[in-house]
Each structure stands twice: as C-alpha cells, then as structure tokens.
Chains A and B, each alone.
Chain A
C-alpha cells in the first residue's frame, strides 16, 4: 500500500519577452505621447497597438496611423478578486476602449470617479513619467 508520498518540484524557467517589431513601434510611440496603430488598406482595418502584419491578409504594415487620444468604451468590468481569488480591498475597474481611428480595442484601467458606462467617451491618461512600457498609459478617464 502506498504511504501517500508526494514528490514536489518546479519548472525552473523564467522569461524575457521582447516586444518585437510591431509592439516595439507602439511602445516607442508612447514616449512621444502617441497611440501608434497600423492600417491595412486592403482589408480596411486599423490595428491598435501597431502590428507588423495584417492578420487577415498577411501584408506588411507600417506603424503610421495616430489613434485617439479619445475613444469609446466598448465594455467595462469591476474586479473584486486578485489572481488567487482573494478579495481586493477596493474593486479595480477595467474597460475595453476603442480609440478613435482604430478598429481594435485595448484593455486599460478605468480612472473615472463613477462607474464606467458602455458607450461613454473616454480619453487616454498618460503617466507623468515615461517608463517605456504599456504602463506609460495610466488608464482612461471620462471626457466631459
């Protein structure tokens, strides 16, 4: 009969993700307070963040479209638990926002004083210092 032994272990790996060509151009734009997207004229789609290629036709794309800084809320949620399922002291609000000029949406924090409302107008809120990552965007705020 087994004595109920257990063997414990890990997978000893860590990762360094580099942004690549498309996202690299987008992140560089954040330093200039720009939301850089890329447009496929053939498919009529503007991607934000910028991508190196169109997923619909595989054409190469350049990050030459400026989107935002305002947009429209597509969906919203308030998160009450962390990744381990524990209650958060204060709920955190996240929204999907479609910035003007873009066909795709971005997931960002909602910084408004009131609950986010689908369909409402919003604008990007920049972090005061440039950190060179998606965190250059603090979130979105209501447009009044």
Chain B
C-alpha cells in the first residue's frame, strides 16, 4: 500500500491552562522542536498537515490558515483536518497518506489548541454540537453526553465508580514524569477522585481532563528519505478511522463500535492479527477516565466490560503487562484537544525509541497503538506505530537521545486578565435554524401530543428522531408512523452544573429515552415527577404540556415520568 512512512521527529510545547504564547507561537514551538529532533530544517519539508478543533475555541474563524505560519506552511501545500476530538490522531493519518501516495517525501504534522481565549467557558462552543431543534431547547451541556455514556457503561457491566477512578489515578500519576504535564499528581488516590465535586453523575471533577493550551508536531518521512534523517525511524504500520451515526441517542452507548472498526482497519494494514499479543504499549483517548476503558475494549485489547478489572489489577500500569497511557494522557498531561491526540502518537514514538525517560515502559516495546475519539461521540481514529517493517537502516544501536524540552509560558488568571494589549471581543453571531421537512413534521406532531417516526422499508427501521433519508440505506424514508410516547430509560445523569459550569440550584436529570415501537430510536429529554431516584431500564411516559401551551417544540413534552405515576413536580 504505497510507500512506507516513518515518524522521524516529534516535539511539543508544555500543556498549560493559559499560555502567554499565541496559537501561532505554540504551533511554532512544537514544529521547530519536531524539526530539531528530526535533524532537518523547514526547507526539507514538502507539505504540512495541520489539525485543530473548532474555530470557536481560539476565536479565529479560519483557524487553519491562521495557524499556517506557525505550522511551517509558508509557501507549501497545506491542509487543515478536523474531526473534533479525533483530530489529533487523524492529523498523522492525513500526513501518512500524503507521504504513502508519493505526493511528498517529508510532511510536518502539527496539532494545536488554545482554549483559554474562549470565555466564559469553552463549553459555550460545545453546546452547539447538540441538535439545534430537539436538543438545545433542553439547555444541555457537554458533560451530559459523557455522563450518560459512562452511566450506561457502568450499568451494563455492574461497575462501581471506584473501578473507573483507577484510571484517573494512574494517568495523573504517570503524568508526573512528563515534562509537559499540566496536572501530574503523585499522591492522588481513588478516594480523592470519589470525593471530588459531582458535576453530572457519575462524572466528578477528577474524572475529567483539564482545559488546556498547547501544540504538538511530528515529522513524517517516506522510506526513501527516512534513513537519511534518523537511524531509528518508527514506522506507521497501520491507520484507521471510522464514523458512527450522528444520531447519538440511537447508538449503542456501551461499546464504541466505530473504534473497533477503526482499529480493525489499522490492525489489518499492520498485519496485527492478535492485538493483545502484538501491541506492547497503548495510548487510548482519555478525556474522561471511563473513556480509556471504553476505548481499550474498542481497540480489542480487552474483552467487553473487562478493561476496568485489568486497570484495577495493574495490567494497564506503566510496568504492567499492557502499559496504557504511560504519557499521563489527557487526564494528566492536559487536553488541548487536537494537540492532546497528537501527543499520544508522539508518546508512542518516544516509547518505541526508548526516549521516554521516566515514563519509559519496561522491556523493548516494538509496537504501539494510539487512538482518539470525537465529533459527536462517534469518530474513532487509530494509528499503529512500530519499529519493524521499513528498510534496514545503517545504524548500529545508537544511543537514545532526550526529546527537546517542552516550552510554553503559563499565565495565571491575574496575569491573563492584566495582560497588556489584550483585546476582548464577543462572538456576535446569532442563528435561526429551519427544522427541515422531517423534523418540522415531528414538531407539528408534538404540538398535537403525538410522536412521529419515519420508516425505512429497506432496512425495516422505525426512526426517531425522524429523518427524510435513511443514513444506512442512503435512500428516502418511505413513510410515517405514530409511536407511543412511552419507553425506557436507556441511561440518565443527575447534573449539578450549567453549560458554563456554574452550579444549578436544583439538579437536572437528562436521560436518553428509548421509545417503544422504534428501532433503538429515541431522544434526549429530562426525567421528572419521580419520588425515588430513577433507574436505568425504568419505564417512563411523556408528560405533555397542556395543548394551549404547546408551541411545536421538544419542550411540548415537559419531561418523562415513571410510567403509570400521577403527574409530579
């Protein structure tokens, strides 16, 4: 499959809460460090691939070309990739096919995020990932998605929070040995995690990775030139990526099938037939602690539901049988979105070259896998790196060299607010969204106290939310069906914070409702009118607002209450 592609250099900034450097300057620090580590100048670079997540984080609506000079793209072919949180691992995939295709011999891959510009909280940008018509009126925040998925995962396998908190402890402890880390914590315990503030049950403060600024860069080279730059190339043996349906409330929230599909694609390319034996070190995406476990299962490194046990037994520790996130991960090093994903690939590069210093895993790992996840919880991006598979190099066991020391200057809150020359600007954009044909009829139905689904005769599915076309069969849906406004609670959360992370007076109970009569259909709504704490699997029914108060909105359903109960609060 095309030319073999090696990673021949890597560099990164420190990850900090607020960087003095601009996004361009962070990109430059990382790019220059990667080139230095590859021992080449920018003149050797044929093309540049940039990864960066939503423009709304940096507040620059053209973030690709804005960052281009810092990424070393002056006068070169340049492209920005963006697949949400999956971007950081997708960026070297883009670099891989640019080189493997023969279009370039040397590609500089740069990933950047500067989230500190965004106020009052980056979640202000995240809220727009929810469906404007049937989700945003519920005033969701990003934590809901994670809390709902995590709760469903815990429920499916009977897990306790303690089982999951082990990951946060491991990763934040691992990060102590990372010179770029924002949140390394040597003395953190599971009890600390369990005692931290509940944000949206089961998500607590220490289950979550921090908002961060930072950048990471890699140098990729074709087999034709890699040997001229390094005696110890690390080969990109496999790449894979895959996207699940954008209707996130219709998905299996317990198992990330899209990660499995992406992993299988990468493993097949890498001739990995027994990942548990052939993968020696893993960097799964860990924006939340449970996500590492979720992803390790999707990467086929543990049986479904068995990753927590492995974490508890030390299998995933840095000195365990399968070291997972020896870098410290997003939880410990930090989570400047796209940069964090690429940091995982850089970590494999350093681990496989024996250059990871205090983070070095025991033995001589020969192959590793890095993975990221994003968009609306449905993209998996996977890269397999290994020391074997390229042409022989001329080297005879050269000594390991230390990676360039990560730089970046942290600003504390006071310095940020007092920074000379700083400019404040609101994003002065407001929108009016048209529901479209299918959702328009759905809203009309709600005004009449009816839930409408569309039906696809080809796959036989009854779809809620209704759509004009079936995304699987890629053909128009065939008709409409009324389904009852009853169902079961697929998962729920008890949320204590608003989107800007300010505490709520009363907790809210977002839930994914699986509606009766649909094909794993349903939507996001709220639970209410219960006396005992809700349970997953509980049967519920819609509480409709009085007909004269309905407006043709998802809010025409006030909430879902336990089926058969009288109207409550």
A contact residues vs B (CB 8 Å cutoff)? 1-24, 27-28, 52-53, 55-58, 60, 132-133
User: In the assembly, what is the distance between CA of A21 and CA of B31, in Å?
Assistant: 17
In Å, the complex CA distance between A55 and B20 comes to 19
Q: Are the C-beta atoms of A13 and B440 separated by less than 8 Å? A: no
Asked if residues B431 and A10 are in contact (CB atoms below 8 Å), the reply is yes
User: Which one of A5, A11, A27, A58 lies within 8 Å of B128 (CB-CB)?
Assistant: A11
Q: A20-B21, A133-B421 are in contact. List 6 more A-B contacts (CB 8 A).
A: A2-B444, A8-B433, A13-B125, A17-B422, A22-B25, A58-B41
Does B566 interact with chain A (Cβ within 8 Å)?
A: no
Q: B416 contacts the other chain (Cβ, under 8 Å)?
A: yes
With A11-B56, A53-B70 in contact, do A2 and B443 touch (Cβ < 8 Å)? yes
Chain B 389-433 against A: per-residue CB contact (8 Å), 1 yes, 0 no? 000000000000000000001010000110111111111011111
Q: Name B420's closest neighbour in chain A (CB-CB).
A: A132
In the assembled complex, the Cα of A65 lies from the Cα of B132 at a distance in Å of 51
Is the CB–CB distance between A20 and B20 below 8 Å?
Answer: yes
Query: Out of B28, B120, B421, B437, which one reaches A53, CB within 8 Å?
Result: B28
Which residues of chain B are near A53, meaning CB under 8 Å? 25, 28, 32, 70
With A14-B424, A53-B70 given, is the CB distance from A6 to B127 under 8 Å?
no
Asked if B496 CB lies within 8 Å of chain A CBs, one says no
Query: Cβ of B35 < 8 Å from any Cβ of A?
Result: yes
- Which residue in B20, B436, B552 is a CB contact (below 8 Å) of A18? B20
Q: Smallest distance from the beta carbon of B294 to chain A beta carbons, Å? A: 29
Q: Which of A4, A5, A8, A13 contacts B118 (CB 8 A)?
A: A13
In the complex, chain B residues whose CB is within 8 Å of the CB of A133: 421, 423
For the complex, count residues of B whose C-beta is within 8 A of A. 63
The CA-CA distance from A23 to B23 in the complex, in Å, is 12
A70 to chain B, nearest CB (A): 24
A128 smallest CB distance to B (angstroms): 19
A-B contact count (CB 8 A): 157
A-chain residues with CB within 8 Å of residue B21 when the two chains form the complex: 20-21, 52
Docked pose: A28 CA to B421 CA in angstroms: 8
For window 303-360 of B, CB contacts with A under 8 Å fall at none
Q: Is B268 located at the chain interface by the 8 A CB criterion?
A: no
Given A57-B41, A58-B32: A16 touches B416 (CB 8 Å cut-off): yes
Given the complex, which residues of B lie within 8 Å of A3, measured CB to CB? 440, 443-444, 552
Within 8 Å of chain A (Cβ to Cβ): is B59? yes
- Contacts known (A3-B440, A7-B137, A9-B132); A17 close to B432, Cβ less than 8 A: no
User: Which residues from A are CB-within-8-Å of B482?
Assistant: none
A10/B429 contact (C-beta < 8 A), A2-B435, A3-B440, A20-B21 known: yes
Min Cβ gap A17→B in Å is: 5
User: A23 vs B419: C-alpha distance in the bound complex, in angstroms?
Assistant: 12
Contact A15 B119 (CB under 8 A): yes
Which residues of chain B have C-beta atoms less than 8 A from A22's C-beta?
22, 25
Whether, in the assembled complex, B136 has its beta carbon less than 8 Å from a beta carbon of chain A, the answer is: yes
Known: A1-B441, A5-B440, A11-B125. A24 touches B420 (CB 8 A): yes
Q: Is B233 close to A, CB under 8 A?
A: no
- Which B residues between 62 and 121 are near A, CB-CB below 8 angstroms? 69-70, 72, 74-75, 117-120
Known contacts: A55-B74, A57-B42. The answer to whether A18 contacts B25 by CB under 8 A is: no
A2-B435, A57-B43 known; A52+B28 contact, CB < 8 A? yes
Residue of B nearest to A5 (CB): B552
B22 touches A23 (CB 8 A): yes
Question: Are the C-beta atoms of A5 and B435 separated by less than 8 Å?
Answer: yes
Interface residue B24 (Cβ < 8 Å from any Cβ of A): yes
Contact B25 A52, beta carbon cutoff 8 Å: yes
In the assembled complex, which residues on chain B have CB atoms less than 8 Å from the CB atom of A24? 20, 419-421
